[in-house]
Each structure stands twice: as structure tokens, then as C-alpha cells.
Chain A
Amino acid sequence: MSARTLYDKLWDSHVVQQRDDGSALIYIDRHIIHEVTSPQAFEGLRLAGRKPWRVDSILATPDHNVPTTQKERASGVAGIEDPVSLIQVQTLDDNCDAYGIVEFKINDARQGIVHIIGPETGACLPGMTVVCGDSHTATNGALGALAHGIGTSEVEHVLATQCLVSKKMKNMLVEVNGTLGVGVTPKDVILAIIGKIGTAGANGHALEFGGDVFRNMSMEGRMTVCNMAIEAGARAGMVAVDDTTIDYVRGRMFAPKGEDWEKAVASWQDLHSDPGAVFDKVVTLRAEDIEPQVSWGTSPEMVGPVGAKVPDPAAESDPAKRESMVRALEYMGLKAGQPIESIKLDRVFIGSCTNARIEDMRAAAQVVKGRRKADSVKEAMVVPGSGAVKAQAEAEGLDKIFLDAGLEWREPGCSMCLAMNADKLGAGEHCASTSNRNFEGRQGYGGRTHLVSPAMAAAAAIAGHFVDVRDFVEGGQA
């Protein structure tokens, strides 16, 4: 067989039936569901008199709507103050109970953001196809899996048939070689990639991340990178399996055990692109060129190094881009030529499926340790991605570090990444956020989001404005 990419291999091994027009019936190994995009799918299933094809392929948890304060979480679903959110979370519970689907309910110690608990529990494994009604499902591609978001009709399709009708995407490789500087994190790498190729740069492609930088990156770092593949236009992002992957998966709750483990590891050895495999598109970046990033606009591609200035639309030759920049600066309340470091923050959000794993908590804690949040920052919240992340952070004393620094320590959920619960920005407020989207209104009506790494968000919380975390850590308090 000719040289194949990782994506080619994952695709080939899941084809149930190839069709003449290029589409195929693809088998789905793992289906993760949450409360926002599943109720209409279950309703459709019931109206058609159908049942889930394979209940044991499904794992459910509520995450988008759940409150993150201890007070509101104390009495479970019944304690959710927003009656519309309550109905949605209750509907997920009811559907899971009705069909016998395993669900980590609101106050289960294993509850968390879908894309955090998938890898964390071993529910998502190398070589799998993983879908969820959420575009950040690509996170699981870090395991060497084919993982992508789907709409609600497709959620219903997978529930009913265990398959998707899909057309093979093209192959794209983003290669980053070299050594990342101190203070430059996986979040900065993916933001720099999106800044280079644009939010539509990988449309129609499955995106593999290759090169030294990803080989040397932790699993959690790879998840941060794959998580934002969609922000570059790719439904799926992935990294080849290596020892780092296998060490990560070993011993997790749903991971194979004993003899199965040995067989599984042997079968995962082939989950990489073959030498000479052909990609339709290749983009390369040098690790040494990547600096800590801050987004200044209303699209993730509107991003640059922290030491830069807000760009001038007048210098942009493409009229459509120029117009978008003018609109973005107006919405963000920024002036062309203004130093990024002069942007003052009203709120700080450390969390989301992009950056709410234990390494993210540690990176943020390291920066705020022994310091105090700036008085000008109204609120800085740290929202762990799952019950397990929360427990681990507390065991390491990170919660104390955050609380001592004047930050809030919350219960797990999606929280202010998309502000479906009570955690949101007020109109005009600037937020240093470790989430994935800086769209208009994303974190609250009129809110102004700046995407950054956990360390950069933590440093901004202390300084009250953006600072280069490299100076901050080495040179003491800014």
C-alpha cells in the first residue's frame, strides 16, 4: 500500500461502505453528548420510533449550562437558578436515564467539560473515531484519533445508526520545528498558527500537527493545540501516537487493561503518517519565531505577539480584511498603533476546553503565587475543566494560591468561554481569556475578549493590563 497520512489510516479503518460519489458510511467508536446539542436529537429519535444503536459507545455530561459557584451547585440540578438552563440539564438526565446511557451528572466527581473528560477518563483512545455535538471535539485528535464536531441532526444519526455519512477531507500538515522559548506555551503555538493561516486556512482539510515542537509537547499541550483546529477552519486536528500518548492513556478508567492493553498498544504503533505520505497543503513555522500571543480583534486570526502594537487597518491592502479590522477595532474599543500591553483588563477567565487541565492550572498558579490581583480587575476566575482536575489542583494546593492572590476558584464547566451560565462579561469589558473564541458577544453581550495562554492571563490579572509573561516571571512584579 502506498504511503498514507495518519488521517488516511484513521479514515480507511472506519469505512463501513464506500459510495460512488465519494461519500462513505463511517463507523463511530465513541459518541460524547452534552445538554445543549442533544435534546432535539433524542426527540427526533423518539418521534421516529428509533433507539440508540449502541448505548455503550456513549458518554454524557452536562457542561455548557452548569453554574460554577459552590452555592448554586450545592443542590444539583434543582439548584440551577436559570429555569431555562435547568430544563436543559434535566432533559439530558432524563434522556440518559431513559436509555441507560452512562452520564456523569452535575455533581458527580467525574463531571466536567466534554473534551476534558473524554481523554481524562480514557473514554477516548488512539485510533478511535470520536464525535460530539460540539466543534471543539477535535481536542481528542491529540490522542491520534479522528475526532470532530457534528450538528444535532448528525447526533441523531449517530445515535440511531452508529455511523455518519461523510466525505473524505483533504490532508494538511502544519509543521513546527525548533525549540519554544521559555514562557511560550502550546496556546501561543496554536494562536500563532491561526494568525498565519487564518480562520479559513484549513477549511475542508484534516489538520495534522507535526515536527519537534509537537513531539516534545505534553499530551495536555497537544490537546490545547488540536482543540483550536476548528479556529483554523479544520473540523479535525490530530497528532501522531508516540510514547507520550501511550504513557498518558495507560491506567485511565476506561482504557484497556491486561492483555487487551498489550494488543491495543501494538495496534496503535501504526498511528502516524508514513514517510513520503502526501499532504495537499503544508505550512511550516519556526518555534523560535513564536512569542506569547494576544488576540486584539473579533476573530482568532486577529492575533499577534504581546510586544506588538494594535495593527493599523490603513496598512492592510485587502479591502475586505481592512473593513473587518476597522469593525473589529471599533467593537473592541482599541486604536491602531496602541501597544497591546496598554490594554487594561476588567476581568480574567482561566478555564475552557482549551485551557482547563491540570498543567494549565499549574502554569497560572506559578505566575500568581505570592502576588495579588490588581484592584482594577473586577473579577478573575479560575474554572477547572473537570472534577478530577479540581481535585488534583486542590491536592497540590493550587486553589489556595489562587484564593490568596484574590482569584476565584470555581466548580467545573464551560463557564465564561461561551457564557451560557451566569459567568459573563458586561458590555465594553475587556477580558484576558484562555478560551478559544473572541467573536463579538461570545463571552457576554458587548464583551471584549482577548485570547491568551493561562500564564499570560494570570500575569494580566496581577498587572491589570497585558504584560509579557517572560519579563514578569524573570523580572519580578511588573
Chain B
Amino acid sequence: MKSFTQVTGLVAPMDRANVDTDMIIPKQFLKSIKRTGFGKNLFDELRYLDEGQPDQDCSHRPLNPNFPLNQRRYQGSTVLLARANFGCGSSREHAPWALEDFGFRCVIAPSFADIFYNNCFKNGLLPVVLPEPVVEKLFQQLYANDGYQLTVDLEAQAVTTPDGEVFTFEVDDFRKHCLLKGLDDIGLTLEQADAIKAYEAKRRQEAPWLFDAVKAETAKR
């Protein structure tokens, strides 16, 4: 798993609430069997003026000049500033894959949808929850200042503005630990294989119908 420690970078705005994962990466791009290459289709329907197709060269497609990611001042952004309930809808992990592939390392919002929030941590993308008034303040600062940057520090659980103002955020210890170190969480779980086997043996005894039925019944028919 990719690690995240600290990032200082340009901030781009995604100034609408309830941004869904269909908007982050539309369905036609989910046909890929790879984990990479989704960045060029991030926010495809907002970013381009035509309908995107899988495996298409996007360099000649007409861009929507009103979309922030197409504007000069936001080129090279690594932090996305967003509104409430970011990442709602479909569980597609292609959404964090697209954000990460595009170059974002961190998304800041007043709230996230649960599955999206979870998926981010698996991909070195840090979702940061800050209170609504703080996010509003950051939006105002961002719009008022070209080249606006933020520093996001996971170890310190802090976001620092160019004026030196610091906002702290919450994150689960285990997720923080895995993300800081870039740990393989499957490997960590497999260290508990004995506990899993013990649980499984007990469950098989108490509820044998939970085991083998799909394989056994299908073999009969």
C-alpha cells in the first residue's frame, strides 16, 4: 500500500455538495481491468465538453473552461477542497484510483460517504474531515489567493494554511499507522491467521449450514 506522511501543495476547489462517485469517474471507464490510468477521466463529464470513451486519447477533447481543474491557476494541484458528503453513491474504488492517478494526495471536506472514505486509505489518498465553517473559510482563502497552498501532515493530524493557522483533524489510529508506513493490511491480517481459524472452527460447529452449501449444492445439479 502507498504511504502518506505529509504534503504541501496547490489546492483545487470542488465546490458542490454530494459529489457522487459516478461524477468522479463515470461508469464507462469501470470496464478496465487495471488499477491505473483513470486520472485522465477524473470528473470526465464536468471536465470535457464531449462524451468520453474508454481507451481514448483525451489530449484533443474539448475542455470545459469553467471547470477549475482546466484552469491555469489550479494546474499541478495535490489537495482537493470539497463540500459535504463527498464520494457518495457507488462503492467503486475507481474513484480514489482516479483522484490519485490525477495527482491528488489529499481531499478535504466537511464529511465523506463511508465507503469512499474507507477506500481512500487503501490507496495512499488521505481524506481529511474539517468542520463546515473551517472548510468554508478555506474556500474563501483559496478563491482570494492565486497559488494557494496547504500543508497536510498526517503524523501531526494537522492542516496548516499559508498564514500559519493550524486546524487539527481526527483519524483512526490503525488507519493512520497503516497509511504512514504504507503497510500491507492483508499481510497484517494474515498475521492473525490462528485467530481467524479458531473463530471459523467454532462457527462451523455452531452453524454448519454457513459452510460448503454453495459448492456442494452446485456440484449436485
A residues engaging B (CB < 8 A)?
16-17, 19-23, 25, 27, 29-30, 36-37, 39-40, 43, 48, 50, 53-59, 64-65, 82, 84-85, 87-88, 91, 102, 122-123, 125, 127-128, 133-135, 148-154, 156-157, 160-163, 165, 167, 169, 199-200, 203-204, 230-231, 233, 235, 253-256, 260-261, 263-264, 267, 299, 320-321, 323-324, 327, 418-420, 427, 437, 439-442, 445-446
Residue pairs across A and B with Cβ atoms less than 8 A apart, 15 shown, are A16-B195, A17-B195, A29-B203, A43-B33, A56-B213, A56-B215, A154-B119, A162-B196, A200-B84, A233-B114, A260-B209, A263-B209, A267-B207, A324-B18, A437-B20
Question: Is B182 among interface residues, defined by CB-CB distance under 8 A?
Answer: no
Bound together, the chains give a CA A199 to CA B31 distance in angstroms of 27
A420→B30 contact, CB < 8 A = yes
A128→B113 contact, CB < 8 A = no
Distance in angstroms from A421 CB to nearest chain B CB is 10
The residue in chain B whose Cβ has the minimal distance to the Cβ of A82 is B31
Please tell me the number of chain B residues within 8 Å of chain A, measured between CB atoms.
Answer: 67
Which residues of chain B come closer than 8 Å to A445, judged between CB atoms? 26, 45, 51
Q: Which 7 A-B pairs have the closest CB atoms?
A: A256-B209, A153-B122, A151-B93, A151-B119, A39-B33, A21-B173, A149-B91
B45→A123 contact, CB < 8 A = no
Distance in angstroms from B31 CB to nearest chain A CB is 4
A320→B190 contact, CB < 8 A = no
The residue in chain A whose Cβ has the minimal distance to the Cβ of B203 is A27
Bound together, the chains give a CA A21 to CA B178 distance in angstroms of 13
The residue in chain A whose Cβ has the minimal distance to the Cβ of B32 is A84
Distance in angstroms from A394 CB to nearest chain B CB is 21
Which residues of chain A come closer than 8 Å to B16, judged between CB atoms? 323-324, 327
Known A25-B192, A125-B210, A151-B122; contact A85-B91, beta-carbon cutoff 8 A: no
Which residues of chain B come closer than 8 Å to A165, judged between CB atoms? 174, 185, 189
Bound together, the chains give a CA A88 to CA B55 distance in angstroms of 14
Bound together, the chains give a CA A254 to CA B51 distance in angstroms of 43
Among A17, A230, A255, which residue has its beta carbon within 8 angstroms of that of B192?
Answer: A17
Interface centre among A25, A169, A231 (most CB of B within 10 A): A25
Which residues of chain A come closer than 8 Å to B134, judged between CB atoms? none
Which residues of chain B come closer than 8 Å to A154, judged between CB atoms? 118-119, 122
Q: Could you give, for residues 189-206 of chain B, a 1 whenever the CB lies within 8 Å of some chain A CB and a 0 otherwise?
A: 110110110011001001
The residue in chain A whose Cβ has the minimal distance to the Cβ of B212 is A56
The residue in chain B whose Cβ has the minimal distance to the Cβ of A87 is B33
Q: Which positions 29-62 of chain B face chain A at CB distance < 8 Å?
A: 30-35, 45, 51, 54-55
B22→A441 contact, CB < 8 A = yes
Which residues of chain A come closer than 8 Å to B175, judged between CB atoms? 23
A233→B85 contact, CB < 8 A = yes
Among B84, B115, B172, which residue has its beta carbon within 8 angstroms of that of A23?
Answer: B172
Bound together, the chains give a CA A135 to CA B45 distance in angstroms of 22
A157→B186 contact, CB < 8 A = yes
Known A48-B186, A160-B186, A203-B113; contact A133-B85, beta-carbon cutoff 8 A: no
A27→B196 contact, CB < 8 A = yes
Bound together, the chains give a CA A440 to CA B196 distance in angstroms of 43
A152→B84 contact, CB < 8 A = no
Bound together, the chains give a CA A442 to CA B203 distance in angstroms of 41
Which residues of chain A come closer than 8 Å to B173, judged between CB atoms? 20-21
Known A151-B115, A203-B114, A439-B89; contact A123-B192, beta-carbon cutoff 8 A: no
Question: Is B78 among interface residues, defined by CB-CB distance under 8 A?
Answer: no
Bound together, the chains give a CA A464 to CA B194 distance in angstroms of 62
Distance in angstroms from A20 CB to nearest chain B CB is 8
Distance in angstroms from B219 CB to nearest chain A CB is 9
Bound together, the chains give a CA A359 to CA B213 distance in angstroms of 27
Interface centre among B115, B184, B200, B210 (most CB of A within 10 A): B210
B174→A135 contact, CB < 8 A = no
Known A21-B172, A151-B93, A151-B118; contact A160-B190, beta-carbon cutoff 8 A: yes
Among B89, B195, B217, which residue has its beta carbon within 8 angstroms of that of A254?
Answer: B217
